[in-house]
A and B are shown apart, each in its own frame.
Chain A
Amino acid sequence: AQSVAQPEDQVNVAEGNPLTVKCTYSVSGNPYLFWYVQYPNRGLQFLLKYITGDNLVKGSYGFEAEFNKSQTSFHLKKPSALVSDSALYFCAVRDRSSASKIIFGSGTRLSIRP
């Protein structure tokens, strides 16, 4: 069975500093990996995905994520945080060897202070 873990409920970063939101996953086969962002009272917005190829994936709003197969991780990063990045971030995984659904992590609330 597939699963995804986001070990931090909350991450606090000062504006302008780099940020990392952690994610680890478990699947029986090779994974498709995703990051979504949710702003208050809004739906889920797609940020980026890893399907195959380069382990460093670039996405929307300057975010990127690095796929690390040996550590089964897919951490979300940004070199310089903005206050407007404050939101709830969800990591998600699907096992590509089956037509299975995307499973979401529990979410990490990112708070950027001015």
Chain B
Amino acid sequence: EPEVTQTPSHQVTQMGQEVILRCVPISNHLYFYWYRQILGQKVEFLVSFYNNEISEKSEIFDDQFSVERPDGSNFTLKIRSTKLEDSAMYFCASSAGLGYGYTFGSGTRLTVV
């Protein structure tokens, strides 16, 4: 069964540093998403991406965040200057279309120290 792959599984970074979280969505999917989950709590929407541009973003997704699909296969989330409160599990997801569910990756646990 096709999978969404996320790397790394765990990232530790110092406050103020930049991090890039990487995702390889399912190859024939068209819609891509980032969500985050703090300490096993609610899963929060960050951003959706379609046709090489952001289609929607939440208020969490401020200027320190950016997304990119650099080469047609990878989908990345960059956090420019990490803060302690950015510590969370970050999930990438992809979807074949609007009537379909999402397939989630296994997540990247980001720890900011």
A-to-B contact residues, CB < 8 Å: 32, 34, 36, 38, 42-46, 49, 51, 88, 90, 94, 96, 99-107
B12 at the interface (CB under 8 A from A): no
Quick check: B102 and A102 within 8 Å, CB to CB? Answer: yes
A-B interface pairs (CB < 8 A), number: 52
In this complex, what residue of A is CB-closest to B33? A101
Residues on B with C-beta less than 8 A from A45 are: 104
Quick check: A104 and B102 within 8 Å, CB to CB? Answer: no
B91 at the interface (CB under 8 A from A): yes
In this complex, what residue of B is CB-closest to A107? B42
Quick check: B42 and A102 within 8 Å, CB to CB? Answer: no
Give the distance in Å from the alpha carbon of A43 to the alpha carbon of B103 in the complex. 10
Nearest Cβ on chain A to B31's Cβ, whole angstroms? 8
B99 at the interface (CB under 8 A from A): yes
Contact of A46 among B33, B98, B103, B107 (CB under 8 A): B103
Quick check: B107 and A100 within 8 Å, CB to CB? Answer: no
Query: Given known contacts A43-B91, A43-B106, A43-B107, is B55 in contact with A34 (CB within 8 Å)?
Result: no
Within 8 A of A (CB), among B1-48: 33, 35, 40-45, 48
Nearest Cβ on chain A to B36's Cβ, whole angstroms? 11
Give the distance in Å from the alpha carbon of A96 to the alpha carbon of B25 in the complex. 23
Residues on B with C-beta less than 8 A from A105 are: 42
Chain B interface size range = 20 to 34
Nearest Cβ on chain A to B46's Cβ, whole angstroms? 9
Quick check: A104 and B104 within 8 Å, CB to CB? Answer: no
Give the distance in Å from the alpha carbon of A42 to the alpha carbon of B9 in the complex. 11
Residues on A with C-beta less than 8 A from B45 are: 101-104
Give the distance in Å from the alpha carbon of A49 to the alpha carbon of B40 in the complex. 22
Interface string of B72-105 (1 = CB under 8 A from A): 0000000000000000000101000011011111
Residues on A with C-beta less than 8 A from B99 are: 32, 51, 96
Quick check: B104 and A43 within 8 Å, CB to CB? Answer: yes
Query: Given known contacts A46-B101, A96-B99, A99-B98, is B107 in contact with A104 (CB within 8 Å)?
Result: no
Residues on A with C-beta less than 8 A from B107 are: 43
